[in-house]
Chains A and B, each alone.
Chain A
Amino acid sequence: MIENVSLAFQGIWAHKMRSFLTMLGIIIGIASIITIVSTIKGTNEEIKENLIGAGNNVVNVTLKQDNASYEMGYNGLPEGVSVITEKTRKTLEKLDGVKEVSLYRTRTWCDNVYYRNVQYSGTINGIDTHYFSVNDYTVDFGRAFTDFDNRTFHKAAIVDSRAASSLFGGDNPIGKVIEINREPFVVIGLANKFGSTGPTISTVEDYMTYAGAQSGIIFIPIDDWPIAYQYDEPQTVAVKADSTDDMTKAGKSVADALSTSQMKTGSKFTYAADDLLKRATQMQNLSNTTNRQLLWIAGISLLVGGIGVMNIMLVSVTERTREIGLKKAIGAKKKRILAQFLTEASVLTSLGGMIGVGSGIGFSKFFSKFMGTRSSISIPACVIAVGFSMAIGIIFGLLPAVKASNLNPIDALRSE
């Protein structure tokens, strides 16, 4: 076998030009497939990351009424729904696929926050001590909240850069006192989302989700929430999953756990996870369908390449009739001749496949650089591509190989 392979390489090397031209069909086919697959994968990752937030893997679980958003009146939590306790939060963290859980309360479009005469309109979040770690915030100045802040109802606030600049202009925010619903809160820190990438706004829903965030966020301890807003309002649960693929599962199991623990069965209230991953998949599917059609076209070029290989192998059998005749005369069995030509064809096409993968990677890098589309090389796709080109060699080499192995040694030796 190894001998056959090395003989095949010798044969290919001896006819460099012809071998290259034969491989060209395979090279082009494989290269275009690798380019397309890389682009599909790149686009998919881009969609996923834009929608979900790069590497953040956070899914929010919120209270729903009749499976729609719960419209909060003035009473905070609805009848029959209990506050999620620290103990419950800890049990949620033990669920499969869940890394960390944070509880928070949130309001977008607050218009009752002031620093002196400056009104703030943006988001305000009441957060626990896990929030920053779950949502990838880092404290740039000052400090984060501690359990002590919550326990003592310390009226402290942390602002992000946008909120800070809208409230304090260029001044140092630390130590400033802001008013939330006429309650004074001391700013103790400045925090920002780590490595945040701007989300893609493609729907009104996206706009609603992100618009608040665009104008800044003020954080206060979650236990202070009733001080500013009187009621135990519904908590949102931010669930950080172990991996992006675990997000759906983690979100669902947290939502299910809360739906059974926080309310009676049959309640019109439930907890449900935002299924960002599902939306990402839907968008990915849309872009995949168009690209799949391109894959078919590339597949046709592979077929044509395979036929080219068959053609050249047939020529090669005719050219080497004497060699085949001699080998059979001195004792080579049919199987060996068959194996020799099959090996030659598949070495030829595998080599073409490898060159194709190489140039495909090159092409996709080139395209992503000059056309701005993102590409991501898929190792399994490369391995499959080489395996597939080897299979092409075996399939299209079969006819010539059978022809060679069936040659009659007497006639073959006599041929000139």
Chain B
Amino acid sequence: MILEMRNINKDYPMGKSVVHVLKNVNLQVNEQDYIAIMGPSGSGKTTLMNLIGCLDVPTSGSYMLGDREIGKCSDNQLAEVRNKEIGFVFQSFHLLPKMNALDNVALPLLFGGVRKKERRQMAADALRIVGLEDRMTFMPDQLSGGQCQRVAIARAIVGKPRLLLADEPTGALDSVSGSQVMDLFRELHDSGSTIIMITHDSNIAGHADIVYNIFDGVLSGGELKGE
């Protein structure tokens, strides 16, 4: 097991009252799982993603990532966990517009303190995996949306993280590029990556092996598909 959430609650203060966004969420992720978490907007799925991605800490409950208790980590430790353990893929790519593809991919390695030469090598390898080895020096505005998302995926896998976390990865793409991205996730999963995908789209969720539903802050489901 690489990730275990037990009785996770997350509250947000809203003026004088408190909103319970997540209610007693339990989630276990094993190595090489391909999981989709599906829910409509306002269901708490983004909050859950923020918690899984260590961008935020739970109000109560325990979240173990590997052998680390995330709730007890300092800001700097959380940054380190995000850098080493998690690869993020965002809906809107979040590439830095003034850097070429290679430098964008190498960015997490820069923060991780990897030497320049090694960094470029690893970034080039990651770009090769996503099939963009001939676009290394392109700037983001010279790439199509699908290519941008593949660069972002390369950035997510470059540090060989424990977990790939994708937030609506096809949300900003047309259907052709969207299915290319989903194919890429499948390939990555087949070669051993653990993937959690957050989406509102059941077609996209259908690509995963395990589908959870989230509604009003309550997580349910989690059955292996087709069995």
Contacts and interface: CB of A to CB of B under 8 A. Distances in A.
Interface of A: 3, 10-11, 14, 322-323, 325-334, 336, 409-410, 413
B110 interface: yes
B50 interface: yes
Contact of B83 (A3, A11, A331, A409): A331
Nearest to B90: A413
27 contacts: A3-B110, A11-B98, A14-B98, A322-B94, A326-B94, A326-B96, A327-B111, A329-B94, A330-B108, A330-B111, A330-B155, A331-B79, A331-B82, A331-B83, A331-B108, A331-B111, A331-B112, A332-B79, A332-B111, A333-B75, A333-B76, A334-B76, A336-B111, A410-B50, A410-B55, A413-B90, A413-B94
Nearest to A328: B79
What 10 pairs across the A-B complex have the smallest Cβ distances? Answer: A331-B83, A326-B94, A331-B111, A330-B108, A333-B79, A332-B111, A331-B82, A410-B55, A331-B79, A333-B76
Contacts of B169: none
B76 A330 contact: no
A341 B168 CA distance: 31
Contact of A330 (B56, B75, B82): B82
Contacts of B146: none
A4 to B, nearest CB: 10
Given A322-B94, A326-B90, A331-B108, 9 more contacts: A3-B110, A14-B98, A330-B88, A331-B82, A333-B79, A333-B80, A334-B75, A413-B90, A413-B94
B58 interface: no
A387 to B, nearest CB: 29
B84 interface: yes
A243 B135 CA distance: 67
A334 B78 CA distance: 11
B140 interface: no
Nearest to B50: A410
B113 to A, nearest CB: 10
B94 A409 contact: no
A332 B107 CA distance: 9
Interface residues of B, number: 22
Q: Which of A323, A325, A327, A331 counts the most B-chain CB atoms under 10 A from its CB?
A: A331
B39 interface: no
Contacts of B90: 326, 413
A333 B83 CA distance: 10
Given A14-B98, A323-B96, A413-B90, A330 B55 contact: no
A331 to B, nearest CB: 2
B88 A329 contact: yes
Contacts of A322: 94
Contacts of A10: 98
A330 B83 contact: yes
Contact of B53 (A14, A323, A329, A332): A329
Contact of A333 (B50, B111, B155): B111
Interface string B47-76: 000100101100000000000000000011
A297 B88 CA distance: 53
A312 B209 CA distance: 50
A413 B46 CA distance: 12
B107 A327 contact: yes
Nearest to B83: A331
Nearest to B93: A326
Interface string B19-61: 0000000000000000000000000000000100101100000
A14 B75 CA distance: 32
B76 A331 contact: no
Contacts of A336: 111
Contacts of A334: 75-76, 79
B55 A331 contact: no
A403 to B, nearest CB: 16
Nearest to A3: B110
Contacts of B83: 330-332
B56 to A, nearest CB: 6
Contact of A410 (B56, B96, B112, B155): B56
Interface in B75-119: 75-76, 79-80, 82-84, 88, 90, 94, 96, 98, 107-108, 110-112
Interface string B109-149: 01110000000000000000000000000000000000000
Contacts of A410: 50, 55-56
Contacts of A11: 98
